[in-house]
A and B are shown apart, each in its own frame.
Chain A
């Protein structure tokens, strides 16, 4: 437990000694801010039209800030996460392999699991800061409308689960190569595959299609989280996904030892 904490602390701090965290968080905020601006503007234009036009008002009696701003915004955040998180995770093991520091780290009396979980937690720490910086957007929405608090909260829970899954996959990718760029490309590509897998379900047989659909991120993203219902099935999906990546990561550290 102490070792886990030490590694977590070191990884978390080291993000601030390099420009990576700063750049990633800034770009993340610029992108999500830009899209938020678009969504919000669109919503206010529609509201204005509805308010001034009686016919439209009758058609649009569903004008709802939760449906029209909060949900699409969570959608966008998760997409931006998918692009940015591989850049946070890419250096985790590949840098240690390249510089050779892994040789010292793995000869200290520390368990592989403590190393992996420490790094995972360090990355989750930065990710938490990054995601919490989007809270002002929801405060802004709150000033002009009345978003359902439950939807917002469960949306954040969803982002966390997704972030954990993306990060664990990214760290695993960085453990199988000593090249950071390859690690980033690898994790980005596999995240995309997991995202798109649901689409290919229609080409597969029904049983395989269902499996593909279940494995894909897509059905676990917005159906439930942003509806405001905490669907345990989706949480379980992400937890299993994360655990599986961590398991693969442990195997890859071990096999590195075997092959030398």
Chain B
């Protein structure tokens, strides 16, 4: 649905984005993850035809963003980062205006605005001017204007920024409900947001694409070693040496010192080994007590930091 090829944007001599390539399938929710200044907004502005790229191509539904800009714009709903709205308009008047511009039929507009007001939970503020609304409601109006013509593609630039936790949850579930029929690109610099809402993630840093995959695959792919947390009641030194002797174990360390000789240990295995199953027999043989044993996966956060710092070294 969205194809981006070798997209580059320079601001004068400053870096915007550099050689970014990715595609988004129909019906997919794609997370666009990166720290501030990574180039998320820049990429989105090019896809939405707000500004052209320095080089490279971007297509939406087969239409080039530069050559068939109007066709692309007909199919896109866009929510910019700063949620710029006309503060001197009332909510329904504003939505009617936008709906008209986005090609909603005039006879249908009243019904459509009513429906979108219901969908986005705006019933409480239909009499208000947009300038009087709280940040959370503005965000909803922003989402409502993006959705008013039922676009195939939705591009949301940091839609949960500046909201309180309750509002964040509401907006996220609203967005999650949009997937399936629509293709969504959602940018964020908040990591859990991506694993919560998106099927696929793009990580971008300093204008370059660092990784593209599902959150699960990224986690699996990047785990160079597997780690297990075990809480064992037994003499510290002996535990360290005995567990260290197990085949495939590359490292054992004390993670936390407990009371009564019950310590929490971090055991690291070499990649793709299932060494974890060898630990309980040792404990049984030595007559120690086993209190807890669980694997720890790398969180998206770890991966992100890893990728971003590795990228810096290169």
Interface size class of A (residues with CB under 8 A): 20 to 34
> Which residue, of A2, A10, A109, A257, has the highest number of chain B Cβ atoms within 10 A?
A109
Which residue of B has the minimal Cβ distance to A260? B51
**Cα distance, A6 to B106, chains bound together (Å):** 11
User: What chain A residues lie within 8 Å of B100 (beta carbons)?
Assistant: 2-3, 6
Which residue of B has the minimal Cβ distance to A7? B101
Stretch at the interface among A42-50, A58-66, A81-89, A95-103: A95-103
Determine whether A202 belongs to the interface, using a CB cutoff of 8 Å to chain B: no
Which residue of B has the minimal Cβ distance to A118? B101
**Cα distance, A3 to B97, chains bound together (Å):** 9
Interface size class of B (residues with CB under 8 A): 20 to 34
User: What chain A residues lie within 8 Å of B97 (beta carbons)?
Assistant: 6, 10
User: What chain B residues lie within 8 Å of A14 (beta carbons)?
Assistant: 86, 88-89
Which residue of B has the minimal Cβ distance to A99? B84
**Cα distance, A56 to B157, chains bound together (Å):** 79
Which residue of B has the minimal Cβ distance to A2? B100
Q: Report A91 CB to chain B, min CB distance, Å.
A: 11
- Which of B11, B88, B103, B106 contacts A260, CB < 8 Å? B11
User: What chain B residues lie within 8 Å of A18 (beta carbons)?
Assistant: 88
Q: Does A107 contact B101, Cβ atoms closer than 8 Å?
A: no
Q: In the complex, which residues 210-226 of chain A have their Cβ closer than 8 Å to any Cβ of chain B?
A: none
Q: Does B51 contact A258, Cβ atoms closer than 8 Å?
A: yes
Known contacts A3-B101, A103-B50; A111 and B80 CB within 8 A of each other? no
Which residue of A has the minimal Cβ distance to B99? A6
User: What chain A residues lie within 8 Å of B129 (beta carbons)?
Assistant: 17
Determine whether B145 belongs to the interface, using a CB cutoff of 8 Å to chain A: yes
Which residue of B has the minimal Cβ distance to A18? B88
Q: Does A109 contact B89, Cβ atoms closer than 8 Å?
A: no
**Cα distance, A243 to B23, chains bound together (Å):** 43
User: What chain B residues lie within 8 Å of A203 (beta carbons)?
Assistant: none
Q: Does B52 contact A100, Cβ atoms closer than 8 Å?
A: no
User: What chain A residues lie within 8 Å of B145 (beta carbons)?
Assistant: 104
User: What chain A residues lie within 8 Å of B89 (beta carbons)?
Assistant: 10, 14, 17
- Which of B76, B87, B88, B106 contacts A107, CB < 8 Å? B76
User: What chain A residues lie within 8 Å of B50 (beta carbons)?
Assistant: 103, 106-107, 257
Q: Does B84 contact A109, Cβ atoms closer than 8 Å?
A: no
User: What chain B residues lie within 8 Å of A99 (beta carbons)?
Assistant: 84, 87
User: What chain B residues lie within 8 Å of A10 (beta carbons)?
Assistant: 86, 89, 97
User: What chain B residues lie within 8 Å of A2 (beta carbons)?
Assistant: 100, 106
Interface string of B95-124 (1 = CB under 8 A from A): 001101111001000000000000000000
8 contacts between A and B (CB under 8 A): A3-B101, A6-B101, A17-B88, A18-B88, A104-B78, A106-B50, A107-B50, A107-B78
Chain A residues with CB under 8 Å of chain B are: 2-3, 6-7, 10, 14, 17-18, 99-104, 106-111, 257-258, 260
Chain B residues with CB under 8 Å of chain A are: 9, 11, 16, 45, 48-52, 70, 73-74, 76, 78, 80, 82, 84-89, 97-98, 100-103, 106, 129, 145
